[in-house]
A and B are shown apart, each in its own frame.
Chain A
């Protein structure tokens, strides 16, 4: 597994972000309240100013160009399977933390490219036995090569 550390193991490019993607995201995360009106407009496609996505918006959900439709991998070895690496012998995964720096905002029409890197593996002993702590880095840029976000995520697997 350590052979995959430090190199780009998956590169994704999104479809152009649509105002509908932004609207649905806002409705979901603000539920049960209505989201702010800035997320509910028609966007540039409907004659309004271009919609700006919430900072934490995910433009890669469900479909990206060239990706075959398939059920998402919900297994604890999903990180390595994405990279074509033999996964560790783990059953469960929980989110340990995130450090994210933001650059320019994502707007309607933007096409986002992500470079995904396996950053580190660490083993620890936890209440439920051995834990595999895995850090990943996901660096997003837009079609103008401007930094959108750089996130380091920690996954705890056991």
Chain B
């Protein structure tokens, strides 16, 4: 695994809409009108229904799990939701290694995390701390 600072993690891409959001609402008990109804989204000031921040949170975890494999552990994730995930937009979760330090268990990486959409809007910005245990 390349832990060089500046290395980009494989991106995670999803085209999002009610098919994703309804499934997530069903498992997270998150039936909020702005996630289910364009009119409710418009009433709240958005152009459409919007996706759950919590689902983007899951997508960030998936991106990290795929990269780090079974020897990795997500120790911390901090994100700010900056813009809403609009219906039928394609969003991409990115990760880039910012810093790496050695520790007793292996290596600890700070990874910059961000989510953007196909209109080049940054939706989410954050940073993760990931422990990579020595094999």
- Which A residues lie at the B interface, using CB under 8 A? 24-25, 27-32, 54-56, 58, 61-62, 72, 74, 91-92, 94-102, 128, 154
- How many chain-B residues does the 8 Å CB contact rule pick out? 37
- CB of B6 within 8 Å of the partner chain: no
- Which B residues lie at the A interface, using CB under 8 A? 19-20, 23-24, 26-34, 44-45, 50, 52-55, 57-59, 61-62, 65, 73-81, 84, 126
A92 touches B44 (CB 8 A): yes
A37 CB, nearest partner CB in chain B, Å? 13
Q: Are A28 and B26 CB-contacts (below 8 A) given A55-B61, A56-B58, A101-B75?
A: yes
A54 CB, nearest partner CB in chain B, Å? 6
Q: Are A61 and B81 CB-contacts (below 8 A) given A29-B55, A101-B75?
A: no
A95 CA to B31 CA, complexed, in Å: 14
A29 interface neighbour in B30, B31, B59, B75, Cβ under 8 Å: B59
B73 touches A29 (CB 8 A): no
A122 CA to B106 CA, complexed, in Å: 40
A74 interface neighbour in B26, B32, B65, Cβ under 8 Å: B32
